Amino acid sequence: MTELFDAVFARGRAAEAVSSRAWLDALLRVEAALAEAAADTGYVSREAADAVVSAAMPENFDLAAVAASAADIGNPVAGVVDRLRELVSEEYQEAVHFTATSQDILDTAMMLVAKDAVAAVMEDLRACEDALLDHLVREEWEHEPRLWGRTLLQHAEPIGLTNLNGRWNFGIRQARMALEGLGFPGALSGPVGVNWSKRMIPEKDLRAHYLRRLGMDPGLYLGHTSRGPVVRIGAAAAEAAGACAKVAVDVILLSQNEIGEVREGRPGGSTSMPHKRNPVAATCARACAARTPGLVATLYAAMPQELQRSPGLWHSEWETLSDLLRLTGSAAAWLRECLEGLQIDAEAMERNLREAEG
């Protein structure tokens, strides 16, 4: 954690999953899998593939140098490939970056990175659901607490606490299920995206071996300029962030001094007012989520990618998807913290009902 706002916006495992280091690792895993698949299918020798696999270790790569290479061709794959060629002996060069184009490697790495980040988000969402279920089982309650149902922030009719918790749980679980339904397709389509080159023998099915090596579903396909799978990940992430924000906003509202029906277990202070009990976790969850709708719009706006590779729209996806997953993961991590420590004040709920009815 070295960046000034990371404690707020890069919380939880998803932030690590989309870090530069994780991206570089993923690029190397993809190049290694490609070499192995080329050996599996007999295009290159097993020794050559092994040489690439040995070379494609993160410790052999300087992240800054790889990053700098992107200035020349517009993406960092060139730096990875150049360094691999340096590391692999002359006789095994054919196994490096075999028939691939930089978009194949980067797209596949992006999907590996996204898959890890989504798994992290789902874990925190599930913890939120568990925390909400826990709050329903309190020994000390003889009866289910009741509280005001509030519509347009005005008293409407009483509801049971299970209605509140249950609705929160429902939104989060639905969002988690949307994430679980996502596909993470790999790409190996070659220079012009047509899955073919003069050197390629279709029956050997290099692509299937490559995807199998990466644990990816060969039935899924990510076209160089067909970006449905990218926007679908972005959409499910933004839905998860929105579902977290809905609960966070409710916690903030119910924590207001005059209402006081819930409070965070570890509220935050203030540099000027030591008495403050701010709902910091809910506040940060909301802040993270508030940044996601704009990012998901960027992904949709990047869909009309021209002909066989877009000059710029493709590039605009990389950090956008990373940021979106990081912020969704941070929202989920903050909400988990908020809900695991949440204190529910059933007496305040009853008091608010009674006073308004009186």
Helix axes 77-87, 46-55, angle to 10 degrees: 120
Interface residues for a second copy in 46-65 (CB under 8 A)?
Answer: 63-64
Q: How far is the CB of 246 from a second copy (least distance, A)?
A: 5
Q: How far is the CB of 287 from a second copy (least distance, A)?
A: 4
Q: Which of 192, 184, 191, 193 is nearest to 229 (CA)?
A: 184
């420590």: which residue's tokens?
A: 341
Task: Pick the catalytic residue from 309, 322, 326, 330.
Answer: 309
Among the listed ranges 49-57, 87-95, 117-125, 223-231, the one in contact with a second copy (CB under 8 A) is 223-231
Task: Clarify whether 270 is annotated catalytic.
Answer: yes
At residue 117, φ and ψ (nearest 5 deg) are -65, -40
Q: How far is the CB of 52 from a second copy (least distance, A)?
A: 15
At residue 343, φ and ψ (nearest 5 deg) are -105, 125
Interface residues for a second copy in 262-301 (CB under 8 A)?
Answer: 268-273, 276-280, 282-298, 300-301
SS3 296: helix
| Maximum Cα interatomic distance, the chain, rounded to a whole number of Å | 89
Number of residues that bind a second copy (CB under 8 A): 137
Binding map of a second copy across residues 307-336, x = CB under 8 A, - = no contact = xxxxxxxxxx-xxx--x-------------
């709920």: which residue's tokens?
A: 349
Residue 271: Cβ within 10 Å count: 6
Give just the sign of the alpha carbon dihedral 193, 320, 173, 133: positive
Interface residues for a second copy in 128-157 (CB under 8 A)?
Answer: 148-157
Q: Which is nearer to a second copy, 46 or 200 (CB)?
A: 200
Interface residues for a second copy in 58-117 (CB under 8 A)?
Answer: 63-64, 66-78, 81, 97, 99-102
Q: How far is the CB of 140 from a second copy (least distance, A)?
A: 23
Q: How far is the CB of 130 from a second copy (least distance, A)?
A: 18
Task: Pick the catalytic residue from 54, 199, 270, 351.
Answer: 270
| Residue 304 half-sphere exposure toward CB, CA atoms < 13 A | 1
Sole binder of a second copy in the list 125, 238, 262, 335 (CB under 8 A): 238
Q: Which is nearer to a second copy, 46 or 183 (CB)?
A: 183
Q: Which is nearer to a second copy, 212 or 315 (CB)?
A: 315
**Using the rule CB under 8 A, is 186 a contact of a second copy?**
no
Burial of 98-129, coded b for 16+ CB within 10 Å and e otherwise, reads: bbbbbbbbbbbbbbbbbbbbbebbbbbbebbb
Q: Which is nearer to a second copy, 67 or 136 (CB)?
A: 67
What are the DSSP calls for 158-171, one per residue? EEEHHHHHHHHHHH
- Integer Cα distance of 302 and 311 in angstroms: 11
Task: Clarify whether 45 is annotated catalytic.
Answer: no
Q: How far is the CB of 144 from a second copy (least distance, A)?
A: 12
Instruction: Decide: 125 and 240 in contact? Cβ < 8 Å.
Output: yes
Q: Which is nearer to a second copy, 8 or 208 (CB)?
A: 8
Q: Which is nearer to a second copy, 215 or 293 (CB)?
A: 293
Q: Which is nearer to a second copy, 157 or 203 (CB)?
A: 157
**In whole angstroms, what separates CA 195 from the centre of its chain?**
28
What lies within 8 Å, CB to CB, of 221 at 6+ separation is 185, 187
Q: How far is the CB of 135 from a second copy (least distance, A)?
A: 17
Interface residues for a second copy in 4-23 (CB under 8 A)?
Answer: 4-9, 11, 20, 23
The catalytic site residues sit at 270, 309
